[in-house]
A = this chain, B = another copy of it.
Amino acid sequence: MHATLRDAPTPLTRSVEDYLKVIYHLSSQGGFASTSDIAAMLEVAPPSVSGMVKRLSETGLIEHVPYRGVQLTNQGRRAALRMIRRHRILEVYLTQQLGYDWDNVHEEAERLEHAVSDELIERMAGALGDPHYDPHGAPIPTPGGEIEEAELITLADAPVDGVLELRQVNDDDPARLRYLADQGLTPGTRLTVLERQPFNGPTTVRIGAATRVVGRELALALWCRGVQA
């Protein structure tokens, strides 16, 4: 039998699920998630993290190297990916079936992800035709725990003259999401980098027939894939 995201040996608390998700995101690039970064992301005090880290490593969900940070075990990673699948399926469902906008699904999904059953998530996924990406372009883990790892670069790092496809946008600021939707900057959009001002200045891109100047901060929130012209 193959392990799937459905395994739920001991039901996890809401709080534990949140810690695992945050640790997943923080350790996805480098190796370790630090106590203070976890605390900042969850908006709790660092000693609260130390306490939870102790409990999580006792249950085998994370590995803790004192004064270095933590990493997910395989078990912890599966639990985290299960939450991420739930969150992203919920976001797609709320936007496609219930008229939510892509800038206000996050909060709702954040609460629901702890309450839904695996069955409900799979029914939603089925009703949506098993989507592969959430509304912001983030890949949705499969029920088996696989997740696409695309090599994306931000628009701020894209080479001049490159032809790009916008694949994913950061969803951490609703106002930015509204602005992006307004500008038609949604996943799938093709754009050509025309020039970039020196000293981390704005990037000028062509989108279809139009030309836009994108400031560095915004450009850092736009993840793209290179495209054969």
For residue A96, give the distance in angstroms from its CB to the closest CB of chain B: 12
Partner of A112, one of B107, B115, B119: B115
For residue A118, give the distance in angstroms from its CB to the closest CB of chain B: 11
Q: Please classify how large the interface on chain A is, using the bins under 10, 10 to 19, 20 to 34, 35 or more.
A: 10 to 19
A119 and B108 CA atoms in complex are apart in Å by 9
Q: Are A120 and B97 in contact, CB atoms less than 8 angstroms apart? A: no
Q: Are B115 and A127 in contact, CB atoms less than 8 angstroms apart? A: no
What's the dominant secondary structure at chain A's contact region? Answer: helix
Max chain B C-beta neighbours (<10 A), residue from A97, A108, A115: A115
Q: Are A123 and B98 in contact, CB atoms less than 8 angstroms apart? A: yes
Q: Are A117 and B111 in contact, CB atoms less than 8 angstroms apart? A: yes
Given contacts A123-B98, A124-B98, A127-B98, contact A108 B117 (CB under 8 A): yes
Task: Give residues 6-50 of A contacting B (CB, 8 Å).
Answer: none
Contacts of A127 in B (CB 8 A): 97-98
A111 and B118 CA atoms in complex are apart in Å by 13
Contacts of A119 in B (CB 8 A): 108
A124 and B127 CA atoms in complex are apart in Å by 15
For residue A190, give the distance in angstroms from its CB to the closest CB of chain B: 33
A105-142 interface bits toward B, Cβ cutoff 8 Å, 1 = contact, 0 = none: 00110011011110110011001000000000000000
A99 at the interface (CB under 8 A from B): yes
Q: Are A123 and B99 in contact, CB atoms less than 8 angstroms apart? A: yes
Q: Are A98 and B120 in contact, CB atoms less than 8 angstroms apart? A: yes
Contacts of A107 in B (CB 8 A): 117
A118 and B112 CA atoms in complex are apart in Å by 13
21 contacts between A and B (CB under 8 A): A94-B120, A97-B97, A97-B127, A98-B120, A98-B123, A98-B124, A98-B127, A99-B123, A100-B123, A107-B117, A108-B116, A108-B117, A108-B120, A111-B115, A111-B116, A111-B117, A112-B112, A112-B115, A112-B116, A114-B115, A115-B115
